[in-house]
Amino acid sequence: MTFDSRPLHALDHSDAFPARHNGPDDETLPTMLEAMGLESVEQLLANTLPDPIRISEPLQLAPPCSEAQALSELQTIAERNQVFRCHLGQGYYPTHTPSVITRNLLENPGWYTAYTPYQPEISQGRLEALLNFQQMVMDMTAMPIANASLLDEATAAAEAMTLCRRANRKHTSNAFFVADDVLAQTQDVIATRAHYLGIEIITGPAASLCEHDVFGALIQYSGESGYIHDLPSLISAAHDQKAMIAVACDLMSLAVLEAPGTWQADIALGNSQRFGVPMGFGGPHAAFFAVSDALKRMMPGRVIGVSRDTRGQLALRMAMQTREQHIRREKATSNICTAQALLANMAGFYAVHHGAKGIHTIASRIHRLTTLLFKGLQDAGITVRHSRYFDTLTLDGLAVSELRSRALKQGINLYYRDDGGVSISLNETTTREHVTDLLGIITADSAPDLSALDQEVINQALTGLPGDLMRKSDYLTHPVFTRYHSETELMRYMKRLENRDLSLVHAMIPLGSCTMKLNAAAEMAPISWPGFADIHPFAPRDQTAGYQQLIEELSGFLTAITGYERISMQPNSGAQGEYAGLIAIRRYQAAQGEGHRRICLIPSSAHGTNPASATMVDMDVVVVNCDREGNIDIADLESKADKHQANLSAIMLTYPSTHGVFEQNVQQACDIVHRYGGQVYIDGANMNAQVGLARPGDYGGDVSHLNLHKTFCIPHGGGGPGMGPIGVKAHLAPYLPDHVHDSGKPGSMAVSAAAFGSASILPISWAYIRMMGASGLTQASRLAIVNANYIAHQLAPHYSVLYRGHKGQVAHECILDVRPLKQATGITEEDIAKRLMDYGFHAPTMSFPVGGTLMIEPTESESLRELDRFCNAMISIRHEIQRIEDGDWPADNNPLVNAPHTHRDMLAQTDRPYGLDLALFPAGDTANKFWPSVNRVDNVFGDRNLICSCPSIDHYRND
């Protein structure tokens, strides 16, 4: 090396992040442009984006910084959050995340970069982990079937209400009962949901349930102040009057309290957070949802089921997918799409790690410590509100402000109630010293003798658990909950499952509309720092300055990127954002005296969540046609807007369209809707094509959601977590969701349990934007468009590209039309998807937004080498299809219909007209083979024979 004579500032950029994030570089980009016959990226963009919507100025963001700098800034932010000892309760508890789970799952890209398991043959690992989660929930709640997670406890409760209304045909009432000691945030989200569905909410003491004529009821077991209701009598009171009953319950307490299922509750739901998932200022955590057998086919959310593959081997897959919004659209029972798969897996592994005995011991210890506290307080003459409790005591008659300052001085948070009481919740991390501290603070006795107290508790057999409610039924009896208690065994089990799944650690995942880009290690690292992980969502404001800074700064970034004025971080997913955005529109219109506007125009190409969300705010969906090029049919839009002008509320459109094209007339479409008095909702899932190039707030949007788990690098987690913040123009800002623990006002149209949704994953998006800066983000969008066009260009001689823009370009994704091949050979998009597995790839999006197609989105993160590897696989598959067309292989026995191939194909006697080398190593690369663990999975069999629990152990392969 010779002396480097560049000036210092040139040497500072040795670790510029954009070059790490983006695939194409200075060397390969010219090759790609040349292949496409283009002079420059700018020429491509000029042909792709309509000129009028292009922004001319760079985004107003701070200059980019290095990884080291971003991490150091985040460290400073995290330090501004103060981690106090937390006894706040209210649905969130400190927990010990077993390190084996942190290291092997939460911080492991083999788990967190996987996609939703729509392709079961390469997803058996996380499907099994999610099945374990379902089994754990079924066991703890004693319900016959559970789903694989919902967004949070409050939205799960709202889903329970709507499920009761759909299912309870015996009851004509329109009222739903909510016990007054249901968590405040749950009550709020239920009120929001009920508002637009015309459901009347009746609130009162749980015991007054029988006095009301309702179709369903929700109670909390234990109530928010700690009281353990007489569950069997409440359930029978509900059933006596033909009401259905949902029980919001705490998994940990169910280790020692009898489960709702034992007394025939219709629904059990709650938060699985305290099974090893950090509080994270409110999320992400997996809500659980379990139902009676009668309700199983109406249950919202994704459900993992057991089926078999073509060789008769046991194989898992997502069951009953035809209920989902993708298919049923405005008739869907729920708009849920992204859920909380990664967090459900954490909670499931927590149960695997501890097993029944371990969980029982943890719960017993929490209860014993609570009982010691109870006894100590009672001996000191302090009034404890309830003597039936699991882990939460509520104290009355204390001098609260003195108590508060004593507690704060010791770094302890208690829950100071509006009714003058003080609630204290204990948890897995509570020690006897903590109880001593609590007694000291409350009774001003400096050294209570805990051993003496404990002896008294034992002698008197003192407990807060009502004798008739003590748990008698078994749980976690399946061998999966007993086999992996040594860390060696658990580590290997987790690795075995991980190895069955294809994730971004193996290959590109070219999923259209899902933007499976790099989730950089530096972006991920901060989420497990205590300053972000160990903060309770209702911690006093002055302890959360770091989170406030993070949220404010990220909101600023997002307003700069979108052109909107205000951001709400409350929605936990894109679909939840749609719901929150449509509520803002409806509230705004109501305030203008236009609450009668209920028509929502939705193009036929829209994502299924759009019509599903519109229905949830009581809108009527009117479908707008698309023309032959895939664009919104402007004449049809105009005529429908005209026809419905008196009642037009909004349009929901996706830009660039789900057809992968920047429509030239998007502004015109927005103008038409505005002219007829409607608002414009722009679905921001495709923001990855336009960051730094165009802003929805500029070209006509009034509101959009952003999928931070797509464009802004939060990993997909195998089906969640997500974040779907919404941006709005100023006129909608007063109608954004608020939160009871923030504003102090209930009834603030909250859509999530926590004020800032899944706040603990926001550092990921913050770091991405911070490290990329305006130029890096814009370059990412440009390269996303380059990569998609490169794929379209390379594959065009072999497949038909369904839609293109007016100058022949696609946006950041492209749709291949497989229908002509199907007509000629019978080969389907599914066969191609499965055959891609043999080549080591995940399939593109199948049959969305058009049946019989594949939608490919490469993202900017994929390099030319990977794009070529993918294109070569697709071209090679096309040649295989040709051989079927030419009669070399029969239509029902060829490498496509038999795909994917597994090790079992090697062992089996085969009557196949092609060799194993072609079956298993079609790309010739024997060293880097990814092996699907099962052959093609039979969906129909699994739906007919619905089994959503862990199969008996004989079914397990060599575990």
- Residues 655/686, Cβ–Cβ less than 8 Å: yes
Q: By C-beta, is 513 or 758 nearer to ligand PLP? A: 513
Q: By C-beta, is 331 or 675 nearer to ligand PLP? A: 331
Q: By C-beta, is 704 or 939 nearer to ligand PLP? A: 704
How far is residue 13's CA from residue 56's CA, in Å, rounded to a whole number? 26
Would you count residue 722 as binding ligand PLP (CB under 6 A)? yes
Would you count residue 683 as binding ligand PLP (CB under 6 A)? yes
Q: By C-beta, is 64 or 574 nearer to ligand PLP? A: 574
Would you count residue 942 as binding ligand PLP (CB under 6 A)? no
Strand bridging mode 814-817 / 845-846: unpaired
Q: State the minimum distance, in angstroms, from the CB of residue 613 to ligand PLP.
A: 9
Enumerate the β-bridge partners of residue 885.
Answer: none
Q: By C-beta, is 564 or 921 nearer to ligand PLP? A: 564
In this chain, which of 555, 658, 688, 898 binds ligand PLP, going by CB under 6 A? 658
Which amino acid, one-letter code, is at 798? H
- Residues 597/649, Cβ–Cβ less than 8 Å: yes
Q: State the minimum distance, in angstroms, from the CB of residue 324 to ligand PLP.
A: 11
Taking contact as CB under 6 A, which single stretch among the options 280-288, 344-352, 357-365, 572-580 is the one that binds ligand PLP?
A: 572-580
Classify each residue of 174-190 as buried b or exposed e, where b means 16 or more C-beta atoms within 10 Å of its C-beta: ebbbbbebbbbbbbbbb
Strand bridging mode 800-801 / 814-817: antiparallel
What are the φ and ψ backbone dihedral angles of 318, each rounded to 5 degrees?
A: -80, 130
Q: State the minimum distance, in angstroms, from the CB of residue 302 to ligand PLP.
A: 11
CA dist 353 → 275, 359, 481, 487, 935 (Å):
10, 9, 7, 8, 30
Which residues in 494-533 contact ligand PLP (CB under 6 A)?
513
Q: State the minimum distance, in angstroms, from the CB of residue 516 to ligand PLP.
A: 11
Would you count residue 537 as binding ligand PLP (CB under 6 A)? no
Q: Which residues are CB-contacts of 316 (< 8 A; sequence separation ≥ 6)?
A: 120, 124, 127, 128, 131, 304, 305, 306, 307, 937
- Residues 670/825, Cβ–Cβ less than 8 Å: no
> Would you give the binding string for ligand PLP spanning residues 603-622, x where CB under 6 A is met?
----x-x-------------
Q: State the minimum distance, in angstroms, from the CB of residue 855 to ligand PLP.
A: 10
Q: By C-beta, is 17 or 115 nearer to ligand PLP? A: 115
Which amino acid, one-letter code, is at 874? M
Which residues in 306-345 contact ligand PLP (CB under 6 A)?
337-338
Q: By C-beta, is 531 or 858 nearer to ligand PLP? A: 858
Taking contact as CB under 6 A, which single stretch among the options 436-444, 536-544, 557-565, 567-575 is the one that binds ligand PLP?
A: 567-575
Q: By C-beta, is 323 or 607 nearer to ligand PLP? A: 607
Q: By C-beta, is 129 or 575 nearer to ligand PLP? A: 575
Residues in the chain: 959
Q: State the minimum distance, in angstroms, from the CB of residue 325 to ligand PLP.
A: 9
- Residues 390/370, Cβ–Cβ less than 8 Å: yes
Which amino acid, one-letter code, is at 437? D
H-helix or E-strand containing 903? helix 903-907
In this chain, which of 168, 413, 573, 711 binds ligand PLP, going by CB under 6 A? 573
Would you count residue 757 as binding ligand PLP (CB under 6 A)? no
How far is residue 390's CA from residue 366's CA, in Å, rounded to a whole number? 8
Q: Spell out the SS3 assignment of 652-695.
A: EEECCCCCCCCCCCHHHHHHHHHHCCCEEEEEHHHHHHCCCCCC
Q: State the minimum distance, in angstroms, from the CB of residue 130 to ligand PLP.
A: 17
Would you count residue 543 as binding ligand PLP (CB under 6 A)? no
- When CB distances to ligand PLP are compared, the closest residue is 574
How far is residue 955's CA from residue 959's CA, in Å, rounded to a whole number? 10
Would you count residue 707 as binding ligand PLP (CB under 6 A)? yes
Q: By C-beta, is 28 or 847 nearer to ligand PLP? A: 847
Q: State the minimum distance, in angstroms, from the CB of residue 820 to ligand PLP.
A: 26
What are the φ and ψ backbone dihedral angles of 204, each rounded to 5 degrees?
A: -175, 175
In this chain, which of 617, 685, 769, 816 binds ligand PLP, going by CB under 6 A? 685
How far is residue 790's CA from residue 862's CA, in Å, rounded to a whole number? 12
Task: Please compute Rg for the chain using Cα positions.
Answer: 28
Taking contact as CB under 6 A, which single stretch among the options 255-263, 401-409, 568-576, 938-946 is the one that binds ligand PLP?
A: 568-576
Would you count residue 582 as binding ligand PLP (CB under 6 A)? no
Q: State the minimum distance, in angstroms, from the CB of residue 118 to ligand PLP.
A: 12
Which ranges of 277-394 would DSSP assign to H, the alpha helix? 325-328, 341-379
CA dist 243 → 210, 213, 363 (Å):
9, 8, 32
Q: State the minimum distance, in angstroms, from the CB of residue 720 to ligand PLP.
A: 8
Would you count residue 575 as binding ligand PLP (CB under 6 A)? yes
In this chain, which of 24, 724, 852, 932 binds ligand PLP, going by CB under 6 A? 724
In this chain, which of 371, 654, 779, 894 binds ligand PLP, going by CB under 6 A? 654
Please tell me the count of residues contacting ligand PLP according to CB under 6 A. 15
H-helix or E-strand containing 650? strand 648-654
List of residues contacting ligand PLP (CB under 6 A): 337-338, 513, 573-575, 607, 609, 654, 658, 683, 685, 707, 722, 724
